[in-house]
Structure 1
Amino acid sequence: MRPSLVLTSKLVNCVSKARRPHYHYFPNLHSALSNLRTLFTMPTQHFDALVLGSGQSGTPLASHLKSLGQSTCLVERAHIAGCCVNEGCTPTKTMVASGRVAYLARRAGEYGIHSGNGEVRVDMKRVRERKRDIVTSFRGGSEKRLEGAGVRVIMGEARFTSEKEVLVTSNSGDGKEQIVSADSIYINVGCRPSRPQLPGLEDVEQERVLDSTSIQELGDVPEHLVVIGGGFIGLEFGQLFRRLGAKVTVVHRGPRLGGREEDPELVDCLADILREDGVEILFNVSGTKLEKTSDEKLPIRIAVETGTKGALDIHASHILLATGRVPNTDTLGLDKAGIKTTPSGHIVASPTLETNVPGVFVLGDVKGGPAFTHVSYDDFRIVRDNLTLNSSKTEGAVKTTEQRAPFIPSVVYTDPQFAHIGPKLGALPKGKKYITYSMPGSWIARGLETDETRGMLKVVIDSDTDKIVSFSAISVEGGELMAVVQMAMVGGLKWQVLRDAVWAHPSWSESLNNLWGGERKEITVS
């Protein structure tokens, strides 16, 4: 036990031996002293570095810190490898792949392929099993990496008790607690699905109220899935379950998909594709109320007000709450450490990812901003490179989050994918002039050959420099196509370089020859 704790522990013991009658002057004193005595006598460990959370920053960072010779501890409350591997990217894209196979199977006749009676049967339990197997494999890789690096892993819930100290409660069910302190602490605890306050939500069968995690564990295809929220997570699941055989309705409070900064032309194109797949989308929805009914198949009635269709009653078997995510900071005890947060609960970070408390850093979704796995991993690289710079005491540029800001890509894994890099249209500087080029997917030879022509490409050019400001692709392999343009943007190339390059035929990237012959517009953002 550290000297400061020994001294405080002795003080607690002395005070607690005072005559019990004095306690009536301070009614909470006895319980407080009891808690303090427990705190100061429980196991205590000190490390050079403590990592809270094993997401896409935490796992590689813990291994790296250990490789530098630092004694390193990682605390994880749920699953090693974080949200992406366990509840996010990996499992959802695995399920999206199953949905695409079902979609292609129904279209097989269009390609001249026929099998049996042409009926497509979805085995939801097998879809789930395949997803679980891949998640287990990915998670196992992260576990082996930490074990091989010699990182001390504690499975439990961490709560700050001071700036450089946390109380960890074991999640094994035995309730054991221990104190872990460190010279440096790195917070990578991520976010979780939010739960909106909707009238009647608590009155319906809760096993039918789903979020982006629980929906992945369904063993049967829902009869009618109502997605509350027209964000991109909800759209991925909406299209997926429509392809698996469910009736799907998306209710969205805004006038179009996505947020206010989205390009209307792009999100309207995506909405048309989803409708073509049979997903019903209701816009300008307000006054959502839920009610339990006696219908065995559709036991949830959802009353909504819409901007175009007036009042509607929707009868659903299941509801997916896709209304955003909240940071996992409410149980961290950040106030005990004096760590500042935003009104939404995200931890405030400097450009080098240090909090207002020296030696305490924050990485990943919990700091706010773009909530992507690739951003979280880059957070690790920023911290890693700056640590190396400091430890070697060599000259070099400090890495910051500001350097990557214009070049963060995103991909919505609908089918076709919606990929984007650069500022959204509504976020471009006001009053500046730009040139846009756009073309439909039917102009891409590869799309015609594979009968995958739905979607469009669009690029925004700085009219003063001829450099690419942003690029969007609604295309089957939109993410891969976007990566080509991303390299041009990172390299500061002018758009003419892409136009004049020799691309392989027939490839998706060949569209970058044709894009500049599409519709051209001169715009000024107002």
Structure 2
Amino acid sequence: MSPDTFDAIIIGAGQAGPSLAGRLNDAGMKVAIIERHLVGGTCVNTGCKPTKTLVASAYAAHTARRGSEYGFTIGGPIEIDMRAVAARARKIILDSRAGNESWLAGMSNVELIRGHARFIASHTIAVGERELTAPLIFVNVGGRANIPNAPGVGEVPLLTNTDIVALEKLPRHLVVVGGSYIGLEFAQMYRRFGSEVTIVERSDRLIAREDPDVSDEIRAILEREGVTIRLGADCIGFERRGDEIAVSVNCESNNAPVIGSHVLMAVGRRPNTDDLGLDKAGIDTDGQGYITVDDRLQTNIPGVYALGDCNGRGAFTHTAYNDFEIVAANLLDGEDRTVDQRIVGYALYIDPPLARVGMTDAAAEKSGRRLLFSKRPMSRVGRAVEKGESQGFMKIVADADTRQILGAAILGTGGDEAIHGVLDMMHAGQTIDTFRWALPIHPTVSELLPTLLLDLKNRGS
């Protein structure tokens, strides 16, 4: 049986896959897009869409509890209907997934194939009994939650992000193992829904990749809401205690385990590359299973590309989408775009959110440059005060000689939107002297950015 021939094969219908299929379809190419599970990938089904929907529900409940601060009362305690909360998230998932499926169905040159794709040669894919071949192959298989090999892992029920977004029961006590982005969002969310929440983190601070002042402020924000935080957890393990789960934390000191009704594992993610037959194609991976790509996202096999979470060059929906943009621009538009041209921003969606772009202060200091720093509490931002949401701060670090912005963080209300003013100026290669004369709208969080730039000084000043 000879393989079915296509101009391009896309493995995975996550963030990059359908968009790439659309561009290739418009170019008149015959395309197969293969999906073994849910169209839309992590973002639509178990990541951004449902998670931020749940964050919005938790924010509404939290704001309602603070009604007296805004001059109103609700006439009784807030009651959370987790079935209704989960149903709202599920509807948004299903609507988004259906939209992607309809979009693909409307592409005249694209065939959506359901099943598990695996390489049987460098440019040949098997899906069940069917074989497909194409000169261009794009791997967009995403990632999944990492479950470490800790004592008792296989003996107790553990939740991942996939499980918890569908939870219809409010946990009595949610234990979150992992003090980074996914874990912190769910920790605050479920505390606001009414669960007792404990975060267990191996490091000596939360989100250790960030600067210490960011970690410390986020810890303070969560603890003010009643989240318990156990850091320096050097002895994490799990044991059944009747209907509940005991999570060990420390071997030497404070060795009392945390007893929870539910445990969320949020200790990172791993790529979905272990069952693709990459060895049959001769495609290189690194020690963690990420597909090795060059700056144009091509693997070591000509004509085979890897996009999104599986290539280790970005862990966000927006970087996956930008991978598609780079590949499409290079293959279809005659451009020469590379991954190293992009400036990546990201956000942590606790409340208030943390938005980041470029270098941390610590990374900038290690670079050996002469630096300028500026920092301002959100309590001095009129918009934050007016909203009654003045926790956090904003800060910028710049190169004293080139006058280029190196990095920025906004931990505060609206920070996830305001950071784009900084990101866009960095992308355009503009200096702080140009940015300083921007005229932002009042009253916004962004209006403080020019003032923040005017306050830039060296550390000793």
> Do these two structures clear the TM 0.5 threshold for a shared fold by scoring above it?
yes
Normalization by structure 1: what TM-score? 0.84
Counterpart of 1:185, as a letter, is I
* Native 8 Å contact 1:439 1:519 kept in 2: no
Q: Residue 359 of structure 1 is aligned with which of 303, 308, 313?
A: 303
Q: For 1:432-451, list aligned pairs within 5 A.
A: 432-451=369-388
Q: For 1:181-260, list aligned pairs within 5 A.
A: 181-204=133-156, 206=157, 209-259=158-208
In structure 2, the CA distance between the partners of 1:517 and 1:350, relative to structure 1 (3 Å rule), is closer
- Report how far residue 109 of structure 1 moved: 1.0
Write the distance in 1 (CA, Å) between the matches of 2:248 and 2:202.
14
**Are 1:81 and 2:40 an aligned pair?**
yes
Partner of 1:304: 249
In structure 2, the CA distance between the partners of 1:433 and 1:226, relative to structure 1 (3 Å rule), is same
* Cα displacement string for residues 15-43 of structure 1 (whole angstroms, at most 9, x for unaligned residues): xxxxxxxxxxxxxxxxxxxxxxxxxxxxx
Partner of 2:324: 380
Write the distance in 2 (CA, Å) between the matches of 1:46 and 1:255.
54
- Report how far residue 518 of structure 1 moved: 5.5
- Radius of gyration: which is bigger? 1
* Cα displacement string for residues 237-292 of structure 1 (whole angstroms, at most 9, x for unaligned residues): 11111111111111111111113x42111121111111111111111111112111
**Are 1:423 and 2:359 an aligned pair?**
yes
SS at 1:508 equivalent: coil
Q: Residue 474 of structure 1 is aligned with which of 405, 411, 414?
A: 411
Write the distance in 2 (CA, Å) between the matches of 1:488 and 1:506.
21
Write the distance in 1 (CA, Å) between the matches of 2:238 and 2:10.
41
The gaps in structure 1 that reach 5 residues or longer are 3-43, 170-176, 391-396
Partner of 2:227: 279
- Report how far residue 401 of structure 1 moved: 0.7
**Are 1:124 and 2:60 an aligned pair?**
no
In structure 2, the CA distance between the partners of 1:306 and 1:497, relative to structure 1 (3 Å rule), is farther
- Report how far residue 224 of structure 1 moved: 0.4
* Cα displacement string for residues 147-182 of structure 1 (whole angstroms, at most 9, x for unaligned residues): 11121011110111111111113xxxxxxx211211
Q: Residue 403 of structure 1 is aligned with which of 303, 326, 341?
A: 341
- Report how far residue 46 of structure 1 moved: 1.6
Counterpart of 2:106, as a letter, is G
- Report how far residue 488 of structure 1 moved: 1.5
- Report how far residue 431 of structure 1 moved: 2.2
**Are 1:106 and 2:58 an aligned pair?**
no
Normalization by structure 2: what TM-score? 0.96
- Report how far residue 427 of structure 1 moved: 3.1
SS at 1:154 equivalent: strand
* Cα displacement string for residues 337-356 of structure 1 (whole angstroms, at most 9, x for unaligned residues): 00000000000001111110
**Are 1:154 and 2:108 an aligned pair?**
no
Greater share of helix residues, 1 or 2? 1
SS at 2:328 equivalent: helix
Partner of 1:63: 22
Write the distance in 2 (CA, Å) between the matches of 1:226 and 1:77.
32
Counterpart of 2:250, as a letter, is E
Counterpart of 2:352, as a letter, is P
Write the distance in 1 (CA, Å) between the matches of 2:75 and 2:430.
53
Write the distance in 2 (CA, Å) between the matches of 1:365 and 1:502.
37
* Native 8 Å contact 1:159 1:168 kept in 2: yes
Q: For 1:477-516, list aligned pairs within 5 A.
A: 477-516=414-453
Counterpart of 2:415, as a letter, is G
Counterpart of 1:369, as a letter, is R
Write the distance in 1 (CA, Å) between the matches of 2:63 and 2:454.
31
- Report how far residue 516 of structure 1 moved: 4.1
Write the distance in 2 (CA, Å) between the matches of 1:283 and 1:433.
34
RMSD: 1.6
* Cα displacement string for residues 211-253 of structure 1 (whole angstroms, at most 9, x for unaligned residues): 0110111111100001111111100111111111111111111
Counterpart of 1:408, as a letter, is V
SS at 2:20 equivalent: helix
* Native 8 Å contact 1:284 1:306 kept in 2: no
SS at 2:202 equivalent: coil
SS at 2:259 equivalent: strand
Write the distance in 1 (CA, Å) between the matches of 2:427 and 2:121.
42
- The worse-fitting range, judged by mean Cα deviation, of 424-433 and 449-458 is 424-433
**Are 1:52 and 2:1 an aligned pair?**
no
Partner of 1:370: 314
* Native 8 Å contact 1:410 1:420 kept in 2: yes
- Report how far residue 519 of structure 1 moved: 7.9
**Are 1:458 and 2:395 an aligned pair?**
yes
Runs of 4 or more, structure 1, over 6 Å off, are: none
* Native 8 Å contact 2:121 2:280 kept in 1: yes
SS at 2:34 equivalent: strand
* Native 8 Å contact 1:51 1:74 kept in 2: yes
SS at 1:310 equivalent: coil
SS at 2:120 equivalent: strand
Write the distance in 2 (CA, Å) between the matches of 1:304 and 1:519.
42
* Cα displacement string for residues 321-341 of structure 1 (whole angstroms, at most 9, x for unaligned residues): 001000000000100000000
Counterpart of 2:237, as a letter, is K
Write the distance in 1 (CA, Å) between the matches of 2:432 and 2:221.
29
> How many equivalent residue pairs?
458
* Native 8 Å contact 1:439 1:518 kept in 2: no
SS at 2:411 equivalent: strand
Write the distance in 1 (CA, Å) between the matches of 2:313 and 2:307.
11
- Report how far residue 504 of structure 1 moved: 2.1
Partner of 1:412: 348
- Report how far residue 56 of structure 1 moved: 1.2
* Cα displacement string for residues 77-128 of structure 1 (whole angstroms, at most 9, x for unaligned residues): 11111111111111100110000001101101111111222x0000101111
The gaps in structure 2 that reach 5 residues or longer are none
Partner of 2:95: 137
SS at 1:274 equivalent: helix
Write the distance in 1 (CA, Å) between the matches of 2:361 and 2:83.
41
Write the distance in 1 (CA, Å) between the matches of 2:196 and 2:458.
39
Write the distance in 2 (CA, Å) between the matches of 1:514 and 1:110.
29
Counterpart of 1:179, as a letter, is E
Identity of aligned residues (%): 39
Write the distance in 1 (CA, Å) between the matches of 2:134 and 2:437.
55
Write the distance in 1 (CA, Å) between the matches of 2:22 and 2:233.
47
SS at 2:446 equivalent: helix
- Report how far residue 389 of structure 1 moved: 3.9
SS at 2:175 equivalent: strand
Partner of 2:274: 330
